[in-house]
Structure 1
Amino acid sequence: MLIKNTVSLLLATSLLTACGSGEEALSKAAEGRWQALIQGNMEEAYQYYTDAFQKTTSQEMFKHKVHSGLWKKVKVKQIQCVESGKRCDVAVDVAVVMRMPGLSKPMESHTTLHEVWVRDGWFSDWRYVDE
């Protein structure tokens, strides 16, 4: 009986820990994808996309489709999860640097992007959904 209770307690603790740290892991994944994009590391950025995306878009096609250099910095502002933490909407503040005609210095502008992230199973990685 003691072993059964101990196993149940360990399982419950691990599930609560997984749920509690899910948003932190998701925040790190979202920022990791953006940092890879900002740095022009398309190979790393590609790894954050869902398996379905990777099956339909080759890494070479992805490299030609996405152009870095426009974004400067990123910060996750809010995470809102549905479907028991398997699907989350992530609000990301992205700073963009643009050269404007007639201005000597580039201008920085901020915008909030809303991204969808999913995970399959209890312990899988978060993946970005390209909509």
Structure 2
Amino acid sequence: MSIKAGAYALCLGAAVMLSGCEWSTEERIAAAAQQRWDALISGDTQTAYRHYSDAFQQTTPYEHFKNKVHGTGLWSRAKVGEVRCETSSERCQVAVDVTVTMKMRGLSNPVDTTDRVSETWVKQGWFSDWRYVKQ
């Protein structure tokens, strides 16, 4: 392969990698937050755990985290809403509507109730992905 062909291949590869950067910061955070909630709802605690900040993971072993997750089976759905980032774009607030489905005594059908949860997401470094900060 000539130097010119090698440079072309390198540029083409970089262009393909950078084409994934078309999402805005808010869209990337919304996707990560939705993935975390989808994992929690389905009981996939290992995937959910990966979305937590490095500081959380360093102080909370996975086994402890797995044993402390108490909403699986009650949460029926979550929908990420508004994402607001600080001007530094290294810390963002995410609004998530979380629905819980509960069986109530005396009612034949389960009852859904939805509440809005506010989450904080941070970027931990230049090449880092966005991570959830447990409050």
Asked if the contact 2:124/2:131 (under 8 Å) is kept, the reply is no
Cα shift at 1:19: 9.1
Once the two structures are superposed, the pairs formed by residues 1-131 of structure 1 within 5 Å of their partners are 21-67=24-70, 68-131=72-135
Uncovered stretches (5+) of structure 1, i.e. residues with no partner = 1-13
The 2-side partners of 1:26 and 1:89 are apart by 9
Deviates more, 1:119-128 or 1:107-116: 119-128
Asked if the contact 1:19/1:85 (under 8 Å) is kept, the reply is no
The 1-side partners of 2:21 and 2:122 are apart by 15
List structure 1 segments (4+ residues) > 4 angstroms apart after TM superposition.
Answer: 17-20
Query: What percent of counterpart residues are identical?
Result: 51
TM-score (norm 1): 0.82
Uncovered stretches (5+) of structure 2, i.e. residues with no partner = 1-17
The 2-side partners of 1:49 and 1:110 are apart by 23
Task: Tell me the matched-pair count.
Answer: 116
Q: Which residue of 2 aligns with 1:10?
A: none
How big is the alpha-carbon RMSD for the aligned residues of Structure 1 and Structure 2? 1.7
The 2-side partners of 1:49 and 1:83 are apart by 22
TM-score (norm 2): 0.80
The 2-side partners of 1:23 and 1:103 are apart by 40
Cα shift at 1:65: 0.2
